[in-house]
Chains A and B, each alone.
Chain A
């Protein structure tokens, strides 16, 4: 449903160029949960921003397979959740207004909008918080507001950039399960970038392992773990350990191979 073909991105500042993405190709099928994992500095955020149409590409294409539309600017089919929730929510608006802001262009009727906001907040377990301000909520709750905002937008794709990296481990586990539940109910296709191997394997249908800069896709691993996933049982399965090791090995290889693949920096 989303096709990334030979994606390239090179940053040029003051004469020096930094090749971040060399050749990234993978596809995302409808309803899939794809996680992208790689070593630090692998240009994962750059990859996501190119996919979301927020960053112009240096080469290759990102296409919405169904319509054949190439993504050059943020399309209406995609909603983003960013890593730093405290900076992605607007502190001068209440939670309800934050969630409803993107809807002003898509839902003209005010009551309908209000209903959509309430529904979205309910689906992330934050009903009743529409009149609070973001700074009155905990980190995990703020990120849930960001997720609610993305869901209220009714996108086909959810693109998430290390959304659970800035919260504590317990909250992260809760949010992981939340996003799995939400996906079941809303039926969105999700691409989630993370540096956490456990998270990548736990959440995904397929894991795309990328290398460090200049980034290429090392491998795409099918995760044949049963659904619904559970923090306790799934992570206790021997198969989880095998898949985890598989991914970890690839990443270690990706990180170690960095000197020999140095780009034109």
Chain B
């Protein structure tokens, strides 16, 4: 190995991790924000207000009472729906993953259900469950369930036969094999399904607040658009984007902690 290649390898690993990496990933967003500020500073267009105005509205609206009156209800509904979806998805998925025939029979129904667009289901949910939190949580749960369910079925079904042999040859009970072998073996796939489900839950959360709602981030944003309070609308969009980023970031941290054995093992 020559001196040049040693330096190259070391450098290649350095910039993507740690402090340097953080700085690098912030460069572009900061540039865009600055550009936006400058370009929109003297804007008179009603639909493209100055960034300054948007940020002021953001601070006034979202960082005060609306935290409790709108942000919290939205997030609570999303998390509730996602949690229900996760439990149903994993339990049902684990069952169906082992019962091949039942899964095969149910498959057309599952494919149909997962293809239903959430926005089209909002009126249906309201008709079935009325106005309030229930239709929102039900719909979030319904839509988020499918990626988790389908991924769990796949994960449980594709467990390495060698591991199955190990579990059986050492006479582990069915429950032990499930808890210690099958669940863990399927977990990368299950968690991948949960990641998709989380994004879906977020989108559906906003969709459900655009019809028959009395609070929520989506509700406020849509109301602002309808009332021509454009800076407020923009601020709502920015908030949604930021929240999405934060939620996804937290999920990635949790995933990294849970799947350390998987990522590390794959590295080599």
Contacts and interface: CB of A to CB of B under 8 A. Distances in A.
Interface in B139-171: 160, 162-163, 165-166, 168-171
B170 A79 contact: yes
Nearest to A94: B261
Contacts of B264: 133, 135
B162 A102 contact: no
Contact of A74 (B169, B180, B268): B169
Nearest to A49: B165
Interface stretch (A14-22, A24-32, A81-89, A186-194): A81-89
A88 B166 contact: yes
Contacts of B169: 52-54, 74, 78-80
A102 B176 CA distance: 10
Given A91-B262, A135-B265, A80 B171 contact: no
A84 B265 contact: no
Given A104-B176, A105-B172, A54 B162 contact: no
Contacts, number: 62
B181 interface: yes
A53 B165 CA distance: 10
A87 B160 contact: yes
Nearest to A104: B176
Interface in A159-185: none
B162 to A, nearest CB: 4
A90 B165 contact: no
A90 B170 contact: no
A91 B170 contact: no
A128 B227 CA distance: 69
Contacts of A125: none
Nearest to A76: B171
Contacts of B180: 90, 93, 101
B184 interface: yes
Contacts of B187: 92
A202 interface: no
Given A74-B171, A101-B180, A105-B173, A87 B162 contact: yes
Given A80-B165, A84-B162, A87-B163, A102 B184 contact: no
Given A91-B261, A101-B180, A54 B165 contact: yes
Contacts of A133: 261, 264-265
A33 interface: no
Interface residues of A, number: 25
B158 to A, nearest CB: 13
A134 B163 CA distance: 14
A104 B180 CA distance: 12
B184 A92 contact: yes
A101 B172 contact: yes
B188 to A, nearest CB: 10
B172 A88 contact: no
| B163, B171, B172, B261: most-surrounded residue (chain A CB, <10 A) | B171
Contacts of B171: 74, 76, 102, 105
A89 to B, nearest CB: 8
Nearest to B171: A74
Contacts of A90: 163, 166, 180-181, 184
A88 B185 CA distance: 12
Contacts of B168: 54, 74
A84 B187 CA distance: 22
Contact of A135 (B166, B172, B261): B261
A217 B165 CA distance: 25
A54 B176 CA distance: 17
| B166, B184, B187: most-surrounded residue (chain A CB, <10 A) | B166
Contact of A82 (B166, B172, B173, B261): B166
Interface in A68-117: 74, 76, 78-80, 82, 84, 87-88, 90-93, 101-102, 104-105
A133 B261 CA distance: 8
A74 to B, nearest CB: 5
Interface in B159-206: 160, 162-163, 165-166, 168-173, 176, 180-181, 184, 187
A58 B262 CA distance: 39
Given A54-B168, A84-B162, 5 more contacts: A49-B165, A74-B169, A80-B166, A88-B166, A90-B163
Interface of A: 49, 52-54, 74, 76, 78-80, 82, 84, 87-88, 90-93, 101-102, 104-105, 133-135, 153
Top 9 nearest A-B pairs (CB, nearest first) are A102-B170, A135-B265, A87-B162, A92-B261, A80-B169, A92-B184, A91-B265, A91-B261, A74-B169
20 contacts: A54-B169, A74-B170, A74-B171, A76-B171, A79-B170, A80-B169, A80-B170, A87-B163, A91-B262, A91-B265, A101-B170, A101-B172, A101-B180, A102-B171, A102-B172, A104-B176, A105-B171, A105-B173, A105-B176, A135-B265
